[in-house]
């Protein structure tokens, strides 16, 4: 009965309620005494914050994951990361496969909405591919990290750490169990850990649609306009970001200056990749220069790509806006990429997503200045953008948040994960198609 009630709702409402139910279940489990090392369970608000951060694959934490939780608690967090990263509808579809049930058209529409896919055609096949890609990439990453960690810890612990961090980073969650809020700072110059983590984050961030097209490229010899934009913009942002971080932090004695040239290069590259909504870090974020922190805020706001495990306004949205600006400056009516014109409705959607995101981040930052008095503005702004873009990087503010601050940030994480447009559609009245147009009017701009 409840299932029928849930699936009778519009796809955006189903996604919002679905993620909400997972978060509530995770919250209850994290309050159990067996979930924490002290045997008391997490306080309700901290449990809700942690469950939201895990399900929304963010990584912001009010308590240190490695020091606070038992293996049971960590596995609850890891399960929420996996479900939140791939989407609860993908897991519902997998369960239907196992039980031999047919996927209805309404369910296909919900899956389409959750993956940001253009059409329902081939959506079930895509879900199957998603689980295949996820299994292969996470297992490969887990094995490599386990072998590397085994040089510093017992084999069993190394395997557990290896697979936990592989799953967390592929899903762009940013949770780590190293303890002491240290992140991966012990592996700043380690080529194996850096290359493996960067690969996991990058695959998780480009989106399953792009992964599927790359998988089929040997047969089709073609990539869609979407994939071309995602790959080109992602590459430019990563390498331009890495170069700028390298230059800005090169003489910073607290970050890159004491390192070898290899360490400097890996440190800069990792910090350029992780704002793509991964959240793990090999440099201590509070030690970065203000200029670098502002650059990271910019990269976080853009985020990953549609249909991925990451957040942000997305690389394609950023590209569309730049294309529109370029066309206006050159006096051209059409926005084009790779010889293809972008429909006006897509440009309008990109503008809507960006404005909603800016309004949300600006509002949350403003309210945080009230609930967290005495805190540096950049720290508050950094936290708000990190939460919205489901990144998980922090300048150290998260554990110090007041109760009101925690509630604000968890709401922001939730809005960022389901998407500002999806959330707006979910809370708005049912959309009605209009069969008329108002007379045109002129407005002065600029």
Domain count, the chain: 1
Residue 23 covered by a domain? yes
Torsion of CA 195, 128, 207, 113, to 10 degrees: -150
Residue 439 lies in a domain: no
Task: Give the whole-angstrom CA distance, residue 291 versus residue 72.
Answer: 40
CA distance 32 to 41: 5
Host H or E run for residue 234: helix 225-249
Using the Cα atoms of residue 223, residue 226, residue 231 and residue 232 in order, give the sign of their dihedral. Answer: positive
Greatest Cα pair distance in the chain: 73
Q: What is the pLDDT of residue 438?
A: 75
Half-sphere exposure of 390 (CA within 13 A, CB side): 35
Strand pairing class (335-337; 340-342): antiparallel
Residue at 434 is within a domain: no
**Tens digit of pLDDT at every position of the chain (446 positions):** 444 444 455 666 777 788 889 999 999 999 999 999 999 999 999 999 999 999 998 989 999 999 999 999 999 999 999 988 887 666 666 666 666 667 666 666 666 666 666 666 667 777 788 888 999 999 999 999 999 999 989 999 999 999 999 999 999 898 999 887 778 888 988 999 999 999 999 998 898 889 988 988 888 889 999 999 999 999 999 999 999 999 999 999 999 999 999 999 999 999 999 998 788 888 999 999 999 999 999 999 999 888 787 889 999 999 999 999 999 999 888 899 998 999 988 999 899 999 999 999 999 999 999 999 989 999 999 999 999 999 989 999 999 999 999 999 999 999 888 876 666 655 555 556 666 677 877 777 76
- For CA atoms 253, 255, 258, 261, give the dihedral sign: negative
pLDDT score for 185: 84
CB atoms within 10 A of CB 188: 22
Give the pLDDT score at 125.
Answer: 77
Which residue matches tokens 């995770």?
Answer: 26
Count of all residues that appear for the chain in the document: 446
CA distances 85 to 41, 132, 277, 317, 418, Å, are 25, 14, 12, 20, 11
Contact (Cβ atoms closer than 8 angstroms) between residue 286 and residue 395: yes
Task: Let me know: does 420 contact 353? Beta carbons within 8 Å.
Answer: yes
Domain extent, residue 323, equals 2-426
Which is it for the CA torsion 288, 413, 67, 404, positive or negative?
positive
Note the pLDDT of residue 3.
47
Residue 431 lies in a domain: no
Element (H, E) at 53: helix 44-55
- For residue 436, is it within any domain? no
User: Given this model, what pLDDT does residue 413 score?
Assistant: 93
Q: Per the domain annotation, does 350 fall within a domain?
A: yes
Residue-level pLDDT at 325: 93
Rounded distance, CA 247 to CA 181, Å?
Answer: 26
Q: Which residues in 339-376 are b (16+ Cβ under 10 Å) and which e?
A: eeebeeeebeebeebbebbeebbeebbeebeebbeebe
Residues near 424 by Cβ (< 8 Å), separated by ≥ 6? 356
Q: Is residue 442 part of a domain?
A: no
**Residue 130 has which token pair?**
């998603």
pTM comes to: 0.89
> Is 446 contained in some domain?
no
Q: Which of 131, 276, 269 is nearest to 211 (CA)?
A: 131
């Amino acid at each position: 009965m409840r299932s029928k009630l849930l699936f009778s709702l519009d796809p955006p409402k189903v996604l919002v309620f679905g993620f909400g139910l997972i978060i509530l279940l995770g919250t209850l489990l994290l309050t159990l005494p067996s979930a924490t090392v002290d045997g008391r369970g997490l306080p309700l608000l901290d449990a809700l914050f942690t469950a939201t951060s895990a399900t929304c694959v963010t990584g912001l934490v009010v308590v240190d994951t490695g020091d606070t939780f038992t293996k049971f608690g960590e596995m609850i967090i890891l399960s929420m990361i996996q479900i939140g990263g791939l989407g609860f509808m993908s897991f519902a579809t997998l369960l239907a496969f196992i039980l031999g049930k047919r996927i209805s058209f309404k369910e296909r529409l919900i899956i389409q909405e959750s993956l940001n896919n253009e059409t329902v055609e081939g959506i079930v096949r895509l879900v199957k591919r998603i689980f295949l890609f996820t299994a292969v990439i996470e297992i490969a990453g887990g094995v490599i990290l386990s072998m590397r960690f085994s040089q510093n810890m017992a084999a069993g612990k190394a395997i557990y750490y290896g697979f936990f961090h592989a799953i967390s980073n592929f899903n762009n969650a940013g949770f780590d169990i190293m303890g002491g809020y240290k992140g991966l700072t012990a592996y700043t110059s380690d080529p194996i850990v850096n290359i493996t983590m960067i690969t996991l984050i990058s695959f998780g961030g480009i989106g399953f649609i792009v992964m599927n097209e790359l998988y089929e490229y040997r047969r089709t010899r073609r990539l869609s306009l979407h994939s071309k934009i995602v790959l080109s913009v992602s590459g430019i942002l990563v390498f331009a970001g890495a170069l700028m971080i390298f230059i800005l932090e090169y003489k910073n004695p607290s970050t890159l200056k004491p390192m070898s040239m290899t360490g400097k290069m890996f440190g800069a590259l990792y910090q350029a990749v992780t704002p793509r909504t991964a959240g793990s870090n090999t440099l201590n974020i509070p030690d970065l220069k203000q200029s670098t922190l502002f650059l990271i805020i910019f990269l976080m706001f853009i985020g990953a790509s549609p249909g991925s495990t990451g957040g942000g306004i997305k690389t394609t949205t950023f590209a569309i806006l730049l294309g529109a600006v370029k066309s206006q400056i050159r006096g051209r009516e059409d926005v084009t990429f790779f010889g293809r014109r972008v429909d006006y409705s897509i440009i309008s959607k990109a503008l809507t997503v960006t404005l909603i995101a800016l309004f949300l981040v600006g509002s949350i930052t403003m309210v945080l200045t009230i609930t967290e008095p005495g805190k540096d503005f950049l720290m508050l702004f950094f936290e708000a953008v990190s939460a919205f873009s489901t990144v998980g990087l922090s300048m150290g503010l998260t554990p110090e948040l007041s109760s009101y601050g925690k509630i604000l940030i968890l709401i922001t994480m939730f809005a960022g994960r389901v998407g500002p447009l999806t959330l707006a559609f979910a809370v708005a009245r049912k959309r009605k198609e209009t069969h008329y147009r108002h007379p045109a009017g002129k407005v002065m701009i600029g």
